[in-house]
């Protein structure tokens, strides 16, 4: 007998909507909470998230509660699909409802680091709700393809193996394959830091550079990610898997990558603010650059791509000047 779960997806962006659709197609009881009332009512009426997933008709079984409390109070799973910068405040609001959380599993899908504290989002979750049952999903998974049921493979991770298995079972379909990885530090860092390299890849494209430069950037970017990850307690092998190399490749090369598109605008001569505005969605890499740069200084980790990219988005360097600095660094072994 198939057990139907009650799932609440918090956040109506592209990935939140795509995951809600995936789970509804699977037969789960899914609520999609969208804070903006006008957007919520528009999507509920048309059954299409025209802003983020144009052309994708949503399942008629999806429901759109009028309050977040209504969405989550009877849920088995709560999928947190809000930007990393909003993660703590959203959890704090959920905590204020005074609900019992020991029978719920929280699943975060945002890929970021909290700038103010340099904390991973799993650490933020524990600070806000100490007894939280928490896991993450990460990997090469553009929402546009997930929503169209194009084969996708991701990783579920949690400090609690049973939680990871329950997340795996919830999302696993014939078009959405889910592996388990117990290294939640590495999985989160890989997901957050790859956005930095995707921004850099977009900048290179905007400057008119070619495949050689992009390949070098991805490879040396991975080296930086691994150095910081290992220093923070992650398993080196994690960065060679789906959440590392896999997500890095897709984010640095795909037309769906908002971070790459944002970088392209910067490389084409637009300011960081103009580039983010033109994308019209949150580019997590902008926040990740700032956090990673601070972490590299705190831990004394050599991250030249991140350092120079940070100076570009802070208007301390022009993009082509940053490339010249990186190419002119002293000779060394790989």
Residues recognised as catalytic: 194
Angle subtended by helix axes 258-267 and 184-206, to nearest 10: 40
Nearest of 116, 205, 115, 123 to residue 159 by alpha carbon: 123
SS3 assignment, position 52: coil
**Would you give the distance in Å from CA 163 to the centre of its chain?**
20
**Cα separation, 3 vs 160, whole angstroms:** 22
Instruction: Tell me if 202 sits within 8 A of 212, measured CB to CB.
Output: no
Angstrom CA distances, 76 to 4, 166, 272, stand at 10, 11, 40
Q: What is the DSSP letter of 23?
A: H
* Strands 113-114, 29-33: pairing kind: unpaired
Q: What is the DSSP letter of 174?
A: S
Nearest of 289, 41, 16, 281 to residue 141 by alpha carbon: 16
Q: What is the DSSP letter of 4?
A: P
B/e letters for 177-214, b = 16+ CB within 10 Å, e = fewer, are bbbebebbbbbbbbbbbbbbbbbbbbbbbbbebeeebb
Instruction: Tell me if 56 sits within 8 A of 14, measured CB to CB.
Output: no
Angle subtended by helix axes 121-128 and 84-95, to nearest 10: 20
């Amino acid at each position: 007998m198939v057990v139907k779960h009650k799932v609440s997806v918090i956040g109506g962006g592209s990935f939140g909507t795509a995951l809600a659709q995936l789970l509804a197609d699977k037969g789960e009881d899914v609520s999609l909470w969208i804070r903006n009332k006008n957007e919520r009512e528009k999507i509920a009426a048309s059954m299409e998230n025209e802003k983020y997933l144009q052309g994708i008709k949503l399942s008629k079984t999806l429901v759109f509660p009028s309050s977040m409390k209504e969405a989550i109070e009877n849920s088995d799973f709560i999928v947190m699909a809000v930007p990393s910068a909003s993660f703590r405040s959203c959890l704090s609001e959920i905590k204020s409802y005074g609900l019992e959380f020991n029978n719920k599993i929280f699943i975060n899908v945002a890929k970021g680091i909290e700038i103010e504290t340099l904390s991973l989002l799993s650490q933020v979750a524990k600070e806000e709700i100490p007894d939280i049952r928490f896991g993450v999903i990460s990997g090469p998974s553009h929402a546009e393809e997930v929503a169209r049921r194009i084969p996708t493979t991701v990783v579920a991770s949690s400090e609690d193996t049973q939680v990871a298995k329950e997340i795996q079972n919830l999302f696993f379909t014939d078009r959405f394959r889910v592996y388990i990885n117990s290294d939640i530090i590495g999985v989160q860092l890989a997901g957050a830091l790859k956005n930095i390299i995707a921004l850099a890849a977009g900048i290179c494209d905007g400057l008119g550079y070619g495949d050689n430069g992009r390949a070098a950037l991805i490879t040396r970017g991975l080296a930086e990610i691994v150095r910081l990850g290992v220093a923070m307690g992650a398993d080196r092998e994690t960065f060679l898997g789906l959440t590392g190399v896999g997500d890095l490749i897709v984010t640095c090369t795909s037309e769906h990558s908002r971070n790459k598109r944002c970088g392209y605008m910067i490389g084409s001569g637009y300011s960081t603010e103009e580039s983010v505005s033109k994308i019209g969605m949150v580019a997590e890499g902008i926040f990740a650059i700032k956090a990673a740069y601070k972490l590299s200084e705190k831990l004394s980790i050599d991250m030249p791509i991140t350092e120079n990219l940070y100076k570009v988005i802070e208007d301390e360097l022009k993009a082509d000047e940053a490339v010249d600095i990186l190419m002119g660094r002293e000779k060394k072994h790989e």
